[in-house]
Amino acid sequence: MGLNLTKKLILSHLTSPSDLKVGEEIYLKMDQTLTHDITAVMAYLAFEALNLPRVRTECSVSYLDHNLLYVDNKTPDDHIYLQSIAKKYGLYLSRPGNGICHSVQSARLGIPGKTLMGSDSHTTSAGGIGMLSFGAGGLDVARAMAGLPMRFKMPEIIKVNLTGKLNPGVTAKDVILEMLRRFGVKGGLGKVFEYVGEGAKTLEVPERLTITNMGAELGATSSLFEADEIVRKYLKAQDREADYVELLADKDATYDNVVDINLSELEPLVACPSQPDQVCKVSEIKDLKVQQVYIGSCTNASYADIKKAALVLKGKKVHEDISLTVSVSTRQIFKKLLSEGIIEDLIDSGARITEIACGACTGIGQAPATKGVSVRTSNRNFAGRSGTADAALYLVSPEVAAATAIKGYLCDAKEIMEDISILSDVKEPEAYPIDDSMMIVPLEDSSKIEIIRGPNIKPLPVNTAPADSLNCKVSLKTGDNISTDDITPANAQFSSMRSNIPLIAEFAYSRYDENFVSRAKEMKTSIIVGGENYGQGSSREHAAITPMFLGVKAVVTKSMARIHKNNLINHGVIPMLFANPADYDTIELGDEIEINGLIEGLKTKKATIHNKTKGTSFDIVMDISEDEIDTLLCGGQLAYIKSQL
Ligand code: MIC
Ligand code: SF4
């Protein structure tokens, strides 16, 4: 029986035999890694602690791309540390201004058929060039940089059969929004989506990257396109045709499930506040007055994205009530747009061009006004994501964003343009300007390099091994779909605290429950109770480290997102699941609980929680592997990796 592409890539990277049964543990070699400035410090502090002379991957890159608003000394301190680390340990360093990690990685360093692990949930973007790619926490990336195989659960592999062709004004963003509409933010848990079919052949690489990027919003383990002629053409345009290898699913490949999407039937879609799966048609929302439009991010700031937005805007003016910012994803694309006069068209329309960086996407600058309505081409619209707690974020394609900027109300490009068909003529260039001078290459001899550690870099807190019995209180009870943005807010100020756990811990859950920190401190040790899909969203491990730092020993939920669960384990916090989800209703904030025989419980993956306040008991289970049990018994990943090396 034929193999799908995901299985082929898994088989070529498997480090111990497996019959690839869904749900079983598999171990994969990671060829490449990436980190970025706001997740990197933890990863490299851990890597330093391993005492290895160099990274043991084919290619590891440290990107300085997220927080380029140097509001004080903290972020520049981090950047200088990261630059010295790259020199010391043999990494590439992408300097501020070179571009957003995912866009640069696929353009300049990614190779079809290789594996990639990055300390960012949207690392899965590289699936758009046929790489098997994964988001993870920093400690996992440290492990991958140490050359150790990475553990995954064998995913279900879903064929997404694309047919037809997108109509003008309908985009790759609408494809992934349609997936979110159908499957929701937890519909991808434990799955890899493999996009194939005639329709896939009509999508250029940056369009594919938009889709694989937002697979993260589905909660998917990864997303993948075949490495076909389209990928060859893209790599050729990047002057990297030599890196191309054709990688296709077998004609008779089997899958665990099949989804059909006819591209010709899609319409412009929008994800409404405050979850990426609250999707409806743009045409269904009438009279939504908008305050801000942001065109940018790793999802939708490619050459064609910006050029199409500029076409919609050309010869018109941004509505007087709208602030429109445009942020191109890479320096290479910026240069190309500049040379073609497209940046000028944008400026003429009244757009404000901001730095080549993540920036506004994660609340680093461009916060909307109080109760502001912001229309964005990025990938997440959680409450507070923009930096303004009560702003409402709507996620759309660049064409819809540009049309909205002119009209002042959410609308489709059709309402603005006489001939919308010209949008379909916009294609990626035959050749991109090549200039890698902002990428510092690894040094051959790094023996004389000193690591520069500014005052913002505080030591990585390390947890202790668990005790056999846990007596503590519930410091927080949350609802469903808690995102890591709820736990560790991201904006310029908070992001610059990422290297300083005692400081950032003061803001844990601050937007969700401002009393959490004082309560957790008072309780000294505690547990958190959560609902479904706990910890969705970004890979930031601070969402695990800060509760750990505040004494949280376990998190009991109905279900949990993959990366966050790994992060909790890596920092020695035990992820527990209600054996019977209805027991969630029996436990409340402040309840005193007791778990006895926890060490044995970890080994057997089950335990009983006695609720001393209510006089009730319920069972929990732990969906953890043997390796994860050992990690938890050591108190976390760092102690565990050390024991393995
Ligand atoms: C995001 O898009 O949420 C981020 C900021 O890129 C994060 C990483 C982080 O929080 O450091 C992600 O996607 O993992
Ligand atoms: Fe950066 Fe936003 Fe992409 Fe995250 S989603 S990597 S913050 S652009």
Q: Which residues line ligand 2 (CB under 6 A)?
A: 66, 100, 102, 120, 122, 297-298, 358, 361-362, 378-379
Closest-CA residue, ligand 2 atom 3, reads: 298
Nearest ligand to residue 43 Cα: 1
Cα(39) to centroid of ligand 1, in Å?
A: 8
Nearest ligand atom owner, CA of 379: 2
**pLDDT per residue over 65-82, tens digit each?**
999 999 999 999 999 999
Name the token pair of 401. 């964003």
pLDDT-above-70 percentage for the chain: 100
Number of neighbouring beta carbons within 10 Å of residue 168: 18
Q: Smallest Cα–Cα separation from 202: which of 164, 154, 151?
A: 164
What distance in Å separates the CA atoms of residue 610 and residue 583, rounded to the nearest whole number? 12
Q: Residues enclosing ligand 1, CB less than 6 A?
A: 38-39, 66, 120-122, 135, 362, 490, 538-540
What whole-number distance in Å separates Cα of residue 180 and Cα of residue 251? 27
pLDDT band at 642 (very low <50, low <70, confident <90, very high): confident
| pLDDT for residue 460 | 87
- The mean pLDDT of 378-401, rounded to a whole number, is 97
d(CA 399, CA 315): 15
| Structure tokens that stand for 624 in this block | 């953890």
Q: In order of start, what are the domains of the chain with their CATH numbers?
A: 5-265 (3.30.499.10), 269-425 (3.30.499.10), 470-644 (3.20.19.10)
What does the pLDDT average to over 542-549? Answer: 98
How much is the pLDDT for 638? 85
Cβ-based neighbour number of residue 224 at 10 Å? 31
Measure 298 CA to ligand 2 centroid, in angstroms: 6
Q: Among 66, 379, 486, 546, which residue has the most ligand 1 atoms within 8 Å of its CB, making it the best to mutate?
A: 66
Proportion of the chain above pLDDT 90, given as a percent: 97
Residue 399 has pLDDT above 80, yes or no: yes
**pLDDT score for 142:** 96
Give the per-residue pLDDT at 64.
98
Spacing, Cα 222 to ligand 2 middle (Å) = 16
Question: What ligand has the least distance to the C-alpha of 296?
Answer: 2
CA distances from 269 to 260, 266, 417, 458, 626 (A): 18, 8, 18, 44, 43
Q: Which of 300, 540, 542, 545 to mutate to test the pocket of ligand 1 (most atoms within 8 A of CB)?
A: 540
Q: Is the pLDDT of residue 632 over 80?
A: yes
Given this model, what pLDDT does residue 1 score?
Answer: 83
Helix 205-213 with 303-313: angle, nearest 10 deg:
100
**236: three-class secondary structure by DSSP:** helix
Joined together, the tokens standing for residue 528 give 């958190």
Task: Assign 641 a pLDDT band (cuts: 50, 70, 90).
Answer: confident
> Cα-Cα-Cα-Cα dihedral of 232, 236, 240, 246, to 10°?
10
Mark out the alpha helices in 214-298 (DSSP H runs).
Answer: 229-237
**Dihedral sign for Cα atoms in the order 469, 475, 478, 482:** negative
| CA separation, residue 142 to residues 35, 61, 137, 457 (Å) | 10, 12, 9, 17
Give me the amino acid identity at 299. Answer: T
Query: What was the pLDDT predicted at 640?
Result: 85
Q: Identify the CA nearest to 628 among candidates 299, 243, 150, 277.
A: 150
Would you call 451 exposed, middle or buried from its count of C-beta atoms within 10 A (0-12, 13-18, 19+)?
middle
* Residue 320 scores a pLDDT above 80: yes
| pLDDT band for position 644 (cuts 50, 70, 90) | confident
pLDDT for the residue 101: 98
pTM, full prediction: 0.97
pLDDT of 448 strictly over 90: yes
Whether pLDDT at 192 is above 90: yes
pLDDT confidence band for 446 (50 / 70 / 90): very high
pLDDT in tens, 143-185: 999 999 999 999 999 999 999 999 999 999 999 999 999 999 9
Q: What is the pLDDT of residues 241-289, one digit of tens each?
A: 999 999 999 999 999 999 999 999 999 999 999 999 999 999 999 899 9
578-600 pLDDT, tens digit per residue, is 999 999 999 999 999 999 999 99
User: Which pLDDT score, from 0 to 100, does residue 456 have?
Assistant: 87
Average pLDDT over residues 369-381: 98
> Any idea what DSSP says for residue 152?
E
Q: Looking at the DSSP assignment, which residues form a beta bridge with residue 534?
A: 560
Q: How far is the CA of 186 from the centre of ligand 2 (A)?
A: 20
Residue whose CA is at the smallest distance from ligand 1 atom 7: 538
> 47-51, 93-97, 377-381, 549-553: lowest mean pLDDT where?
47-51
Q: Is the pLDDT of residue 141 over 90?
A: yes
Measured in degrees and rounded to the nearest 5, phi and psi for residue 222 equal -165, 175
Give me the pLDDT at residue 639, please: 83
Task: Look at residue 643 and tell me whether its pLDDT is greater than 80.
Answer: no
Distance of alpha carbon 555 from alpha carbon 527, whole angstroms: 6
Least distant ligand from the CA of 141: 1
Is pLDDT above 80 for 530?
yes
**Residue 153 — φ and ψ, nearest 5°?**
-90, 130
Q: Cα(179) to centroid of ligand 1, in Å?
A: 21
Q: What is the pLDDT of residue 462?
A: 87
- 3-state class of 207 per DSSP? helix
CA distances from 617 to 532, 587, 594, 621 (A): 21, 10, 9, 14
Ligand nearest to the CA of 539: 1
Closest CA to 123 of 113, 112, 110: 110
Query: Residue range 409-437: average pLDDT?
Result: 97
Give distance in angstroms: CA of 540 to centre of ligand 1: 6
Q: Please give the distance, rounded to the nearest whole angstrom, from the Cα atom of residue 539 to the centre of ligand 1.
A: 6
Nearest atom within ligand 2 for CA of residue 361: 2
- DSSP 3-state of 327: coil
Using the predicted structure, report yes or no on whether residue 307 has a pLDDT greater than 90: yes
- Work out the average pLDDT over 15-43: 97
What is the model's pLDDT at position 226? Answer: 98
Q: Looking at residue 474, what is its pLDDT?
A: 98
Dist. CA 88–CA 446, nearest whole Å: 5
**Residue 158 pLDDT:** 98
